[in-house]
Amino acid sequence: MPSLSKFLADNPGLSEKEADWLQHLVGDWNLLSDLLRSDLVLWIKEESGALAVAHCRPATGSTVYYEDPVGRPSDGGTEGVEIVRLLDGGEASRVPTAIEREGRAATGLLVPVRKNGQTLAVLAAESPDSDGHPSNNETQQRKLGHRLLRMLESGAFPIEGAPIPPRRGAPRVGDGVVELDDAGVVCWISPNAISAFHRFGIEGDMEGVTLAELSTEVLQSRSPVDESLPLVLMGRAAWRSDMQARGGTLSLRAVPLTEQGRRTGAVILVRDVTELRRRERELITKDATIREVHHRVKNNLQTVAALLRMQSRRMKTDEAREALAEAMRRVSTIALVHESLLQGSQEAVHFDEVIDRCLRLAVDAASATVHRAGTPQLTDAQVEVRTEKIGRVGSIRAEEATPLALVVTELATNAVEHGLSETGGTLTIRSERTGSHLVISIEDDGDGMGAAKPTGLGTNIALTLVQGQLGGTLTWEDRPGGGTRAMVEVYLDPLTL
């Protein structure tokens, strides 16, 4: 099914600003749907009549549509004719009519969506007929919904500048509703809103009292207060704010009500988000703790590497010094992963940055007979090794980053020591990733393996990590232009953000 953006883009009768206005409406019309307890269907004009381009079901009542009506053209009946008439600029009757939806009796109301005097679309509010008498709560909410419909018809709703994108803990009609007059006095409050304010510490009857005064009495004096909170409590600004006191937190959203450009009151949506904010604080604390752990692990690994370096200087044989140098390089590679984890907010590693550092580490620590391109040549006998990286890996899970970094470092070191230490050349790491499938090739343009098979501790470590921890394969082959290519093929686990 095409998106609303596609429908609007294909409609030649709407300008870019008019299409944005309809997108803005659909982004916030759940408020209307919940207050009216009605399905909302947005109709726009097309050559053959009208087309339904968006649909919203209420969270506070039952729906009249089992199947989404988006994409359906208007019929030639009375309702379809009335929609087309309104789209052509006709005046709305504002009288609900009896309709039938999927075999059920329902009531429909058509309202033109206008902006700057132009009719952009028609909004159909449709609700199932009720057998019983509506409660006072339902009646009051419907009245507020009809006031918003009048604002919609005059171009005053949705409210420009209102924070439409969803924010964690944003209140909805089912959480609690408060009606204010133009002075900020409570005219009516829903039962759920009363319960939320009572848990917050406001007691007694709230109707007939200014909401800002009631809230000020229980606010914590030492807690920082959002500068927009007074405007929200008075209903003067279409904004959201949190109010905290006695360990509890309320999320408030104000929707000013206007008539002919004059503010006549406001709808305040309220939700108790105490538990949600507590969990968010726990997550922030947990994230800080994890960062500190990675920081300490990185420092400890760097200390171990320094101790290995000091110990290698006391060794009397070249074989012992080389063994300690290899151990130091592997410890430093693991430290690189933990350092990368310090940079992000998730337990994921941007592996391309790790590859860059693994390349430098492999060349610098591989052999005294080579030097990395761009660094000073210590002796005349040293050959130059250039490095290049082709392709991107992206982000991978921390559990996979450590073994993969070790594998890349071991294979890159082997390529330098056995392929480029005498002739020099280019060390290339080529990455190809499609979804979870990752292939990393470590290539050198040296003499090649020939008939020999790779052996040694580094090779065994790389094979064990690829097959055991990563569940992948590691193969070697000769490059067509000379040299050796080692290919690591793995399937990564998806990131859970």
Assign residue 457 the CATH number of its domain. 3.30.565.10
CA–CA separation, 250 and 451 (whole Å): 73
Q: Which domain holds residue 322?
A: 275-345
Which pLDDT value is given to residue 497?
Answer: 47
Say whether both 204 and 236 belong to one domain. Answer: yes
Phi then psi dihedrals of residue 450, to 5 deg: 70, -135
Say whether both 261 and 304 belong to one domain. Answer: no
CA–CA separation, 45 and 51 (whole Å): 6
Which candidate, 331, 251, 260, 262, places its Cα nearest to that of 299? Answer: 331
* Each residue's pLDDT tens digit, 201-252: 888 888 998 988 888 777 755 556 677 888 888 999 888 888 887 768 888 9
Residue at 294: amino acid letter: H
**Cβ-based neighbour number of residue 326 at 10 Å:** 20
Which pLDDT value is given to residue 37?
Answer: 93
Does 162 fall in a domain? no
Residue at 238: amino acid letter: A
Which pLDDT value is given to residue 381?
Answer: 63
Say whether both 256 and 368 belong to one domain. Answer: no
**Angle value at C-alpha 228, between 227 and 231, nearest 5 degrees:** 125
Does 163 fall in a domain? no
Which pLDDT value is given to residue 277?
Answer: 73
**Cβ-based neighbour number of residue 105 at 10 Å:** 11
Say whether both 101 and 147 belong to one domain. Answer: yes
CA–CA separation, 290 and 190 (whole Å): 43
Both tokens assigned to 298: 């990185």
Say whether both 465 and 390 belong to one domain. Answer: yes
Is residue 123 within a helix (H) or strand (E), and if so which, with residue range?
strand 118-128
CATH of the domain at 45: 3.30.450.280
Which pLDDT value is given to residue 454?
Answer: 73
Say whether both 355 and 492 belong to one domain. Answer: yes
| DSSP 3-state of 34 | helix
Q: Which single residue is written with the structure tokens 């690829």?
A: 466
Both tokens assigned to 191: 């039962």
Say whether both 188 and 246 belong to one domain. Answer: yes
Q: Which single residue is written with the structure tokens 């883009």?
A: 9
Query: Taking a C-beta distance cutoff of 8 angstroms, is the pair 398, 348 a contact?
Result: yes
CA distance readout (Å), 368 to 63, 237, 307: 75, 70, 21
Domain count for the chain: 4
Say whether both 429 and 406 belong to one domain. Answer: yes
Q: Of the residues 324, 345, 366, which one is the last residue of a structural domain? A: 345
CATH of the domain at 203: 3.30.450.20
**Cβ-based neighbour number of residue 182 at 10 Å:** 16
Does 160 fall in a domain? no
Q: Of the residues 294, 326, 345, which one is the last residue of a structural domain? A: 345
CA distance readout (Å), 350 to 343, 360, 398: 9, 17, 10
What residues contact residue 295 under an 8 Å CB cut-off, 6+ apart? 338, 342
CA terminus-to-terminus distance, the chain: 28
Which candidate, 362, 407, 368, 366, places its Cα nearest to that of 387? Answer: 362
Q: Of the residues 308, 325, 345, which one is the last residue of a structural domain? A: 345
> What are the DSSP calls for 301-320, one per residue?
HHHHHHHHHHHHHH-SSHHH
Residue at 486: amino acid letter: A
Q: Helices marked H in 155-273 — which ranges? A: 191-200, 211-216, 229-234
* Each residue's pLDDT tens digit, 252-271: 999 999 998 899 999 999 99
| Upstream peptide bond of 158 is cis (omega within 30 degrees of 0) | yes
Predicted TM-score of the model (pTM): 0.61
Is residue 136 within a helix (H) or strand (E), and if so which, with residue range?
helix 136-154
CA–CA separation, 462 and 193 (whole Å): 61
Q: Which residues of the chain have pLDDT under 70?
A: 1-2, 163-169, 220-225, 247, 280-295, 297-298, 301, 322, 326, 329-330, 333-347, 365-371, 373-374, 376-381, 450-452, 495-497
91-103: b (≥16 Cβ within 10 Å) or e:
ebeeeeeebebee
Say whether both 148 and 28 belong to one domain. Answer: yes
